[in-house]
Amino acid sequence: MNVLLVEDSRAIRHLVTAYVEEVGHRVMSAETGEIAMELFDQNQIDLVLMDIELPGIDGFEVTRRMRARLSNDWLPIVFLSSNSSDQHFVEGIKAGGDAYLAKPVNGPVLQSMVQAMGRIAAIQEQLQTVNQELSRLAHVDSLTELNNRRGFVLHYGREWGRSSREAQPLSIIMIDIDSFKTYNDNYGHLAGDDCLRLVAKILMSNLLRPVDMVARYGGEEFVVLLPNTSLDGAKLVAERLRAAVESENLKHEFSPVAKHVTISAGCAEKVAGQAPNLLIDVADKNLYKAKENGRNQVFA
């Protein structure tokens, strides 16, 4: 672990550093709370050993500031103080500390405390990894590896807010594979899955800006989110995607549209004061018009 020791007494710094290093951890030390905050901001710290009485801001205040910086993250903070009153213990925990050791520091006790805090920190880290994976699973479609509808809604909300704040346009494209039911009926569901994966790849690789996003909105429906893009721009992108899918020439001899897989697309641009769901509605209606007009086309 990287241990940050906040202690103004040089003698205690040396003693504590020796104890902690003896059990295999690295120690960085700060004589004041101000220096501690700097080290805290610049380094990945796993455990803090905190004196309370310090020349500038005291250990309680340093703890509060560290906790504020961490927000959802956590790391153990242990107070070391010669004033081992109950009141100090209570205040230390209230400030965001996790444990309290009285000075003079006993070597084996300090080392055991570091060990115990290390165990809790390891569990916390595992939880974080699990949370990240759960969040990924919740937002990514396992078939295509694109964002799923939930992932889209998350990005959409962010981009909607940004476009309102920055008074920038925002457009979306709803895309649906043409005659996909007959594809499944004739080639089988597994081939249908392969086709979905391929179309997803084509859509993804034909979006040129990193801010553009394509998600799998539903079964064989995709949605493209285009920040800072007007309706004209969206039409160009939609036409490029349509042409890209068509030119891939994925065989679909049962399609009434063409002898290969095609997509239809509906575009819409955000209007000031509009509700986010309404923009999706407009794009959906335009997609329906593209279908009505014969499929394998873009409607805006």
SS3 1: coil
Measure the CA–CA gap between 181 and 230, rounded to whole angstroms.
33
In what helix (H) or strand (E) does residue 67 lie, and over which residues does it extend? helix 59-70
Among 176, 235, 257, 268, binds Mg ion (CB under 5 A): 176
Binding mask 219-238 for Mg ion (x = CB under 5 A): --x-----------------
**Residue among 194 and 221 whose Cβ is closer to Mg ion:** 221
Residue 295 in contact with residue 177, Cβ under 8 Å?
A: no
| # residues near ligand GH3 by CB under 6 A | 16
Among 220, 237, 245, 286, the residue binding ligand GH3 under the rule CB under 6 A is 220
Q: Which residues are catalytic?
A: 220
Query: Smallest distance, Å, CB 187 to ligand GH3?
Result: 9
Site for Mg ion in 50-69 (CB under 5 A): 51, 53
- Each residue of 33-58: b (16+ CB within 10 Å) or e? bebbbebbeeeebbbbbbbbebeeee
Tokens of 124: 């916390």
Write the binding mask 173 to 212 for ligand GH3: x where contact by CB under 6 A, - elsewhere: ---xxxxxx--x----x--xx--x----------------
105 DSSP 8-state letter: P
Distance of alpha carbon 238 from alpha carbon 231, whole angstroms: 10
Q: How far apart are the first and last CA of the chain?
A: 57
Interactions with ligand GH3, residue window 119-158 (CB under 6 A) = 143
Nearest to 81 by CA among 7, 136, 4: 7
127 binds, among ligand GH3, Mg ion, none (CB under 5 to 8 A by kind): none
Distance CA 213, CA 252 (A): 27
Which of 88, 216 has the CB closer to ligand GH3?
Answer: 216
Q: How far apart are CA 107 and CA 82, in angstroms?
A: 15
CB of 253 to ligand GH3, least distance (A): 15
81 makes contact with ligand GH3 (CB under 6 A): no
Contact stretch for Mg ion (CB under 5 A) within 47-55, 224-232, 252-260, 268-276: 47-55
53 binding partner (options ligand GH3, Mg ion, none; Cβ < 5 to 8 Å by kind): Mg ion
- β partners of residue 51: 80
Q: Residue numbers of the site for Mg ion (CB under 5 A)?
A: 8, 51, 53, 176-177, 180, 221
Residues of the shown chain interacting with ligand GH3 in the complex, contacts defined by CB under 6 A: 143, 176-181, 184, 189, 192-193, 196, 219-220, 291, 295
